[in-house]
């Protein structure tokens, strides 16, 4: 019952936080008002700026910010014990992550839907803007280079997830056009989409479809990366209502319904036990992972690494890009920001709680072995977590195994339960990939806009980059180039192509969390210039600037047993990027500290004037 109690109390805590702290932020701090005209109305272009119902924007926002982050991070971090991971997820989501996401969304809403990097140039200075945009570009390049590999890994492990994920695209296009042209109520298309998605999960590996799934599962990582980047290019340049919005919305319906199924499965497992074993007994649901484990074999120090390992699920800098890059261009009313920004982060926090419970307790309900035996309890958990690992494949598999056990406790056949969870993971990764490509397009366009154009009469490369096609081509080509490089110690060969993102992956956690700290810096300056209280931002901002910097310095210069420093390994690429990133952070902080005392109540030059309805 302990596992069930943790899930229920966490969920209740998130609901209370939304209706108390979230309401206070929306009403008293950001003063959200339906009287102000949102950028989606003022700048409506039918492409990126499109007034949209908050339920659809929530679907886009939630699926874009979640990705595999709230799955992989907690699945790694329970090596330090389930309690530290749980506390960071719950309190981090409420007081740091959701505040960050809501703040970035509101600030962007009041600045024509621009990204926080672009806004930094006005509320701090132009140098910070350029530095910020370079950090954003690097972080998004890592996401685009690695997530194709993540999806390929999921498809290889769970081929039954391939057809359901592929068929989401035509379903989304049809429903997107239906909603856009007819302007009808969401209920009917929602029910149709949800029914179709579950039918593809149940029957998507039957007969010919099974042969197709197995054939596609055999594709190389490079093939999948190319296919997915081409898809991302198309999704980035199409109008947002035609593919991105409806795909994310129907994914959100499916994913939230799966979360509900997991909670019900957890309830059944807590009361009646897991699915019956060969001898007819139902294993007891219990936390097989340790409550605390300060020194896992081969793991780095819990502090600061817990706070960069669990990013999505507590706070993630990537979220400020979604808030200020796409969602702010779609909200049709300011009060919707609390539901989309604060509410989505709390939903992701609850997902991370379920991931912790699936890996810490669900795995113990039964783990089939190659010899036909089934491990349960701590034996099952140790088979997955005997040694520290940050490899994506086994960690995703641990979550799928644990969550599938919750579903099997409901009586679902094992094949359907596994397929459903495989689709769950791959869909999250896919929505993050196409959103990241669109966000990278915005960053490239904003970078091009900061640089001087070439002389008249010459080919204006920067003007080409400000075009959505040029910027998207650069985003996709850069990611493809990184992905094509073989991982360390591997030869240049087709078998190794597509895995190049693994080279920069060790940087992602710290870089991503540092981005969150810098986003807090921009939000703080925006409010400070308007004489709005910022005390609730200062501690999270300092925390999210110190922890990633500390982790990066440790990785570069110190290291530990099983985790040698990058310097001692001679990994000069990681050393160079990490040192440059830390220096950029220090530079931006110095610029901010020098300016902060002088700008209280001084609205920045070029501030966007809000317009009343």
User: What letter does residue 311 receive in the DSSP assignment?
Assistant: -
More confident: 72 or 529: 529
- Asked if residue 612 has pLDDT above 90, the reply is no
DSSP E strand boundaries for 476-570: 559-560, 563-564
Cα–Cα dist 257/133, whole Å:
36
pLDDT (0 to 100) of residue 372: 78
CATH number at residue 548: 1.20.1740.10
280 within some domain: no
More confident: 591 or 331: 331
More confident: 396 or 78: 78
Q: Do the bridges between strand 559-560 and strand 367-368 make them parallel or antiparallel, or are there none, so unpaired?
A: unpaired
Cα–Cα dist 566/575, whole Å:
6
Cα–Cα dist 60/48, whole Å:
13
Please list the residues that pair with 564 across neighbouring strands: 559
pLDDT (0 to 100) of residue 82: 96
- Asked if residue 192 has pLDDT above 90, the reply is no
Query: Which whole number is the average pLDDT over 199-209?
Result: 89
Query: Which whole number is the average pLDDT over 561-586?
Result: 85
95 within some domain: yes
pLDDT (0 to 100) of residue 393: 64
Q: What is the mean pLDDT of the chain?
A: 88
580 within some domain: yes
pLDDT (0 to 100) of residue 157: 82
| Cβ-contact 103, 388 below 8 angstroms | no
Its pTM surpasses 0.85 = yes
506 within some domain: yes
Count of structural domains within the chain:
1
DSSP E strand boundaries for 277-424: 367-368, 374-375
Q: List CB contacts of 490: < 8 A, sequence separation 6 or more.
A: 496, 499
| Cβ-contact 438, 415 below 8 angstroms | no
Q: List CB contacts of 474: < 8 A, sequence separation 6 or more.
A: 444, 465
Cα–Cα dist 164/156, whole Å:
14
- Asked if residue 318 has pLDDT above 80, the reply is yes
Q: Do the bridges between strand 563-564 and strand 374-375 make them parallel or antiparallel, or are there none, so unpaired?
A: unpaired
* pLDDT tens-place string over residues 246-273: 888 888 888 888 899 999 999 999 999 9
- Asked if residue 508 has pLDDT above 60, the reply is yes
pLDDT (0 to 100) of residue 460: 65
* pLDDT tens-place string over residues 410-440: 998 988 888 888 888 888 788 888 888 988 9
Q: Which domain holds residue 113?
A: 2-275+285-598
- Asked if residue 5 has pLDDT above 70, the reply is yes
Q: List CB contacts of 557: < 8 A, sequence separation 6 or more.
A: 565, 567
Cα–Cα dist 30/98, whole Å:
14
Q: Of all residues in the chain, what percent carry a pLDDT higher than 70?
A: 96
Torsion over CA: 488, 490, 493, 495 (sign): negative
* pLDDT tens-place string over residues 346-355: 999 999 999 9
* pLDDT tens-place string over residues 96-146: 999 999 999 999 999 999 988 889 888 988 777 777 788 888 888 888 888
- Asked if residue 459 has pLDDT above 70, the reply is no
Hey, what are 332's tokens?
């049709």
What's the burial of 489, exposed, middle or buried (CB within 10 Å: 0-12/13-18/19+)?
exposed
550 within some domain: yes
Query: Which whole number is the average pLDDT over 59-85?
Result: 89
90 within some domain: yes
Query: Which whole number is the average pLDDT over 214-218?
Result: 90
* pLDDT tens-place string over residues 28-47: 999 999 999 999 999 999 88
Q: Of all residues in the chain, what percent carry a pLDDT higher than 90?
A: 42
Hey, what are 454's tokens?
């070439």
More confident: 396 or 529: 529
- Asked if residue 458 has pLDDT above 60, the reply is no
603 within some domain: no
More confident: 131 or 226: 226
pLDDT (0 to 100) of residue 359: 93
pLDDT (0 to 100) of residue 455: 45
Cα–Cα dist 401/421, whole Å:
9
Q: How many CA atoms lie within 13 A of 352 on its CB side?
A: 41
| 3-state secondary structure at position 368 | strand
613 within some domain: no
């Amino acid at each position: 019952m302990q596992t069930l109690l943790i899930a229920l109390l966490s969920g209740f805590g998130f609901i209370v936080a939304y209706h108390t702290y979230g309401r206070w932020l929306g009403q008293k701090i950001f003063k959200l008002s339906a009287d102000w005209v949102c950028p989606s109305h003022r700048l409506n272009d039918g492409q990126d700026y499109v007034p949209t119902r908050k339920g659809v924007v929530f679907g886009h926002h939630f699926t874009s910010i979640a990705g595999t982050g709230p799955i992989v991070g907690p699945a790694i971090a329970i090596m330090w014990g389930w309690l530290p991971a749980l506390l960071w997820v719950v309190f981090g989501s409420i007081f740091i992550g959701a505040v960050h996401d809501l703040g970035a969304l509101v600030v962007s809403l009041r600045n024509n839907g621009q990204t926080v990097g672009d806004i930094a140039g006005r509320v701090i200075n132009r140098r910070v803007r350029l530095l910020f945009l370079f950090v954003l570009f690097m972080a998004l390049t890592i996401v685009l280079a690695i997530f194709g590999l993540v999806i390929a890994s999921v498809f290889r492990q769970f081929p039954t997830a391939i057809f359901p994920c592929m068929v989401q695209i035509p379903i989304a296009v049809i429903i997107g056009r239906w909603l856009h042209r007819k302007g009808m109520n969401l209920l009917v298309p929602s029910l149709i989409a949800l029914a179709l998605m579950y039918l593809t999960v149940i029957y998507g590996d039957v007969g010919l479809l099974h042969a197709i799934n197995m054939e596609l599962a055999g594709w190389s990582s490079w093939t999948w990366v190319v296919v997915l980047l081409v898809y991302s290019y198309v999704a980035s340049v199409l109008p947002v209502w035609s593919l991105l919005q409806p795909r994310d919305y129907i994914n959100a319906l499916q994913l939230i319904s799966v979360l509900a199924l997991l909670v019900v499965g957890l309830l059944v497992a807590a009361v009646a036990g897991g699915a019956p074993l060969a001898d007819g007994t139902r294993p007891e649901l219990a936390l097989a992972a340790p409550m605390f484990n300060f020194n896992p074999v081969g793991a780095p120090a819990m502090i600061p690494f817990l706070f960069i390992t669990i990013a999505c699920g507590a706070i993630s800098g990537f979220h400020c890009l979604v808030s200020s890059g796409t969602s702010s261009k779609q909200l049709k009313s300011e009060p919707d920001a609390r539901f989309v920004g604060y509410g989505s982060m709390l939903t992701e926090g609850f997902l991370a709680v379920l991931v912790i419970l699936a890996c810490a307790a669900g795995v113990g309900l039964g783990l089939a072995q190659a010899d036909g035996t089934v491990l349960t309890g701590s034996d099952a958990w140790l088979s997955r977590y005997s040694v520290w690992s940050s490899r994506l494949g086994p960690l995703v598999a641990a979550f799928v195994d644990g969550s599938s056990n919750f579903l099997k406790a409901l009586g679902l056949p094992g094949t359907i339960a596994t397929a459903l969870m495989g689709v769950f993971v791959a869909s999250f990764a896919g929505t993050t990939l196409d959103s990241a490509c669109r966000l990278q397009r915005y960053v490239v366009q904003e970078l091009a806009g900061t640089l001087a154009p070439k002389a008249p009469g010459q080919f204006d490369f920067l003007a080409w980059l400000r075009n959505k096609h040029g910027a998207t081509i650069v985003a996709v080509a850069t990611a493809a180039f990184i992905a094509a490089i073989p991982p360390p110690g591997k030869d240049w060969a087709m078998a190794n192509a597509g895995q190049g993102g693994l080279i920069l992956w060790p940087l992602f956690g710290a870089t991503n969390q540092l981005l969150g700290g810098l986003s807090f810096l921009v939000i703080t300056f925006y409010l400070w210039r308007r004489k709005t209280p910022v005390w609730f931002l200062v501690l999270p901002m300092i925390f999210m600037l110190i922890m990633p910097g500390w982790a990066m310095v440790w990785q570069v210069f110190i290291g530990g047993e099983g985790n040698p420093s990058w310097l001692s390994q001679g990994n000069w690429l990681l050393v160079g990027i990490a040192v440059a990133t830390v220096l950029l952070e220090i530079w931006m902080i110095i610029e901010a500290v020098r300016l902060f005392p002088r700008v209280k109540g001084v609205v920045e030059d070029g501030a966007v004037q809000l317009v009343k309805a």
